[in-house]
Amino acid sequence: MRMTDTGVRNLKPKAQRYEVWEDGRTGFGVRVSPRGRRTFQFMYWHHGRGRRMTLGVYGQITLADARVLHAEAKKALTEGRDPAAETVEQRRAERDAETVADLVELYLEKWARPRKRSAAEDERILRKEVIPTWGKLKAQDVRRRDVIALLDGIVERGAPIGANMTLACIRRMLSWAVDRDVLDASPCLSIKAPAPENRRDRALSDDEIATFWHGLDGADMSETTRLALRLQLATAQRRGEVANAEWSEFDRDNALWVIPAAKAKNAEMHAVPLAPLVLDLLDAIEANAGGASHLFPSPVGDKPITPSSISHALRNNRDKIGVTNLTPHDLRRTAATRMAALGVERLVLSRVLNHVDNSVTSRYDTYSYLDEKRAALERWGRKLEEIVSGKLTPNKVVELAERRL
């Protein structure tokens, strides 16, 4: 059989378990159970003995993942090693992890750090909320009631959204442990989020934008954080992308900021045209950065400030700034809302925000929309400058004069 994703997906269960093997004597195949479970297999010879290695279950891993594992196993064979025996030993070591603290380290090392951009947030939650309470428990002994008690304690101390985030993180870790055969079952099944999360729709008015912009000057925060907040409002980009921005990503001659795929939330490179207001802001940011490679360097070490530090600074200074109930993401939403009000089409606005588009059309539409994005952001830049200066920009004066004619 020629192995394709469609072919594997369409394999039908029979009364008895059966196997289908790839053409070419590669030893790569799929075992199909009477219940329809499809498991990737590798059959090989090692020291004169036939061996079977289970690569993974279709649905939990893809055909592409299975091929990578197959290639790694074949490489081990060429080096004289037995890949199945190594896998058994690795899983035994993982199952023998005695405590939840051990499981946390395995999860962070083998899954979160290699695959998640937000691995640092998972690590923060697990070390703050989970290890102090469950660290010495055997991973197999954690029960549903333990999860509920942990979440209730977080809610009772006044952090309901933190409890939701902790549940999501624990659920990811324990589901991973089940997939890796470290645990038999996850105690998080059917546990609902302990607190409702209302969808935010906060967008600042003109008066609030002016108050925020000028109120930052009297806030108890670093100049670095002040400038980061202003850049986010002016560019409509994500908090993390702003916090981690580097000078190498900016082409001020062509007024362009190119966010690398590795830093973008949707893992796609994103070109952000820079309005004149933003270019002026970059001059102030450069003077403040003092030659650092990042726009917003941390006061500790050669690294950028953390996105969470921006949120904390804003949350702790709302009264001094004079704008209540405000988060960094509200600045991005404000910019998007104002661009829509200025007549920017929704498709262009989506491109400015670098939102994921999973439609069939998007697979064929490779147009960059750079000119449209530039027009939208320059329009927003002029409006923002008008708001914070309290004066009409030259373009606005011309526009009003044309209307009178």
Interatomic CA distance for residues 246 and 257, integer angstroms = 10
DSSP for 232-289, written as a single string: HHHH---HHHHHT-BGGGEETTTTEEEE-TTTSTTSS-EEEE--HHHHHHHHHHHHHH
**Can you read off the two tokens belonging to residue 192?**
């609902």
294 DSSP assignment: B
Residue 172 confidence (pLDDT):
93
Residue 301 confidence (pLDDT):
77
* Per-residue pLDDT at 280 exceeds 60: yes
Q: Classify domain 5-92 at the CATH topology level.
A: Double Stranded RNA Binding Domain (3.30.160)
* pLDDT classification of 118: cutoffs 50, 70, 90: confident
Taking residues 65-85, what's their average pLDDT?
89
Kindly report the CATH number that applies to the domain delimited by 97-179.
1.10.150.130
Residue 390 confidence (pLDDT):
84
Q: Classify domain 206-404 at the CATH topology level.
A: hpI Integrase; Chain A (1.10.443)
Residue 403 confidence (pLDDT):
37
Residue 89 confidence (pLDDT):
67
* Per-residue pLDDT at 367 exceeds 70: yes
Residues of the chain with CATH 1.10.443.10: 206-404
pLDDT in tens, 76-89: 888 888 888 877 66
b/e per residue, 239-276, with b = 16+ CB within 10 A? bbbbbbbeeebbeeeebebebeeebbeeeeebbbbbbe
Residues of the chain with CATH 3.30.160.390: 5-92
DSSP 3-state of 358: coil
Entry pTM: 0.57
Instruction: Tally DSSP H helices, then E strands, for the chain.
Output: 19, 7
Q: Which of 243, 199, 237 is nearest to 334 (CA)?
A: 237
Residue 48 confidence (pLDDT):
85
* pLDDT classification of 47: cutoffs 50, 70, 90: confident
* Per-residue pLDDT at 197 exceeds 90: no
